[in-house]
């Protein structure tokens, strides 16, 4: 923000430096962004088209953030600002992710492509686990693994990160 103001200020007086300054801004913007918080893992790992198998090997990769933004805006009906607050990212970040998500989904539906939902650990509000016995998903309230499923007490659980 400061850099932007500075750039604007300089532009008023010195057009010669505009190019350099904008390169700087671009560099700042290209820094890796903090990933948005995700509430719960998506229910399915992938979606498959039925009746058209030609390009099934080539899947559209929808990442979990894109899935979450799409879900919050179009399923939960939140505004971009509300979604941004919930995911702890900027509103413009939400807008960018939303555009990508919509394009990918439109592409998958139009071209009959498989949709893979890519994981990413440490994105969730809590760590999430899945029970291999009862297939439920549950959050972990402590930093270490819960050890057993809170529903059926099975010890066959694994972390959901993919």
Which residue, 76 or 99, is less far from another protein as judged by CB? 76
40 by Cβ neighbours in 10 Å (0-12 / 13-18 / 19+) ranks as: middle
Q: Of these, 21, 73, 86, 89, which contacts another protein (CB under 8 A)?
A: 86
Give least dist CB 151 to another protein, A.
Answer: 5
* Partner whose footprint covers residue 105, from another protein, Zn ion, none (CB < 5 to 8 Å by kind): none
Confirm or reject binding of residue 149 to Zn ion (CB under 5 A). yes
Determine the longest span between alpha carbons in the chain, in angstroms: 69
Q: Of these, 14, 125, 132, 158, which contacts another protein (CB under 8 A)?
A: 125
Confirm or reject binding of residue 40 to another protein (CB under 8 A). yes
Binding residues for another protein, total number by CB under 8 A: 20
Confirm or reject binding of residue 151 to another protein (CB under 8 A). yes
The sign of the CA dihedral 117, 119, 123, 128 is: positive
CA distances from 10 to 15, 29, 32, 49 (A): 8, 19, 26, 54
Q: Of these, 78, 97, 101, 117, which contacts another protein (CB under 8 A)?
A: 78
**Residue in the structure block whose two tokens are 């899947």:** 59
CA distance 70 to 44: 15
Confirm or reject binding of residue 91 to another protein (CB under 8 A). no
Q: CB under 8 Å, gap of 24 or more: what pairs does 84-87 form?
A: 86/37, 86/39, 87/36, 87/37, 87/38
Give least dist CB 139 to another protein, A.
Answer: 5
Site residues (CB under 8 A) for another protein? 39-40, 43, 72, 76, 78, 86, 125-126, 134-139, 141, 150-153
């Amino acid at each position: 923000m400061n850099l932007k103001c500075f750039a604007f200020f300089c532009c008023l007086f010195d057009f010669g430096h505009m190019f350099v300054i904008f390169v700087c801004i671009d560099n700042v913007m290209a820094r890796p962004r903090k990933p948005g918080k995700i509430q719960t893992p998506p229910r399915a790992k992938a979606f498959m088209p039925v009746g058209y198998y030609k390009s099934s090997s080539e899947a559209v990769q929808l990442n979990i953030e894109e899935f979450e933004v799409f879900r919050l805006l179009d399923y939960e009906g939140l505004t971009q600002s509300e979604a941004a607050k919930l995911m702890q990212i900027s509103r413009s970040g939400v807008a960018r992710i939303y555009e990508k998500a919509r394009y990918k989904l439109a592409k998958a539906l139009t071209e009959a492509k498989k949709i893979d939902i890519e994981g990413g650990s440490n994105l969730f509000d809590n760590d999430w686990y899945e029970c291999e016995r009862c297939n439920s998903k549950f959050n972990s309230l402590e930093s270490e693994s819960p050890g057993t499923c809170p529903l059926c007490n099975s010890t066959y659980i694994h972390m959901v990160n993919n």
